[in-house]
Amino acid sequence: MNFPQSLNMQILSVFGEEKKVLQKMDELFFSFSFLEKDIQEFKAAVAEACINAIEHGNLENKDLPILIKITLTEQMATCTVCDRGSGFPSIKQTDFNFDRGWGLKIIESFVDHWTMDKPLVDDFSFCITFEKSFNNFKG
C-alpha cells in the first residue's frame, strides 16, 4: 500500500450525513492492519467533529457544506473538518470547565492532538484538525 492515502469529501449540514464519512473511512481502512480499537477511536472523533460542524458551525443549514479531509500514513491519521461557522474562543485542550464543549472533550479523549483555526480558504471559515498515532498493527 502506498502512503499517504487520503479521503476528501463534503457533506451536507444534516444530522446523519456523518455516516457517509464513516462509510468512506471503512473503505479507506479496509486494507490496513491497524488495531480495530485505534480505528474506532479515530472514527468516533471524526463523527463528533462532523456533528459539531453540523450543529454549531453551520447551524444545521442544509445549504452549507462541511469539508472533511483525512490523510493516512503508515503511523498517523490526520483529519480536518471545516465549516462556515465563526468558531469558538481559543481554549486550552484540558480547560473544559463550562457547560458546553463536551464534543471537544470527546474528540480530545480519542486523539493525540487537536488544533483549531480560521483558515478563510474555499469559503470555509473554521476548521478543527486532529491527529492519532497508529503505531500498533494487529498480527
Longest dimension (CA), the chain: 45
Please state, in angstroms and rounded to a whole number, the distance separating the CA atoms of residues 81 and 97. Answer: 24
The third-level CATH classification (topology) of the domain covering 5-133 is Heat Shock Protein 90 (3.30.565)
Predicted confidence band at 99 (pLDDT cuts at 50, 70, 90)? low
Instruction: Show Cβ contacts of residue 92 under 8 Å, excluding neighbours closer than 6 positions.
Output: none
Say what the pLDDT of residue 121 is.
Answer: 62
Which one is predicted more confidently, 121 or 19?
19
User: Could you read off the pLDDT of 15-31 as tens digits, one per residue?
Assistant: 999 999 999 999 999 88
Residue 82 has pLDDT above 90, yes or no: yes
DSSP code, position 66? E
Residue 138 has pLDDT above 70, yes or no: no
Q: How far is CA 7 from CA 35, 72, 99, 129, in A?
A: 20, 9, 33, 14
Say what the pLDDT of residue 137 is.
Answer: 66
Predicted confidence band at 102 (pLDDT cuts at 50, 70, 90)? confident
Facing residues of 131 across strands? 78, 113
- Alpha helix (H) ranges present in the chain? 18-29, 36-52, 102-110
Say what the pLDDT of residue 85 is.
Answer: 87
Domain boundaries, the chain: 5-133
Say what the pLDDT of residue 62 is.
Answer: 95
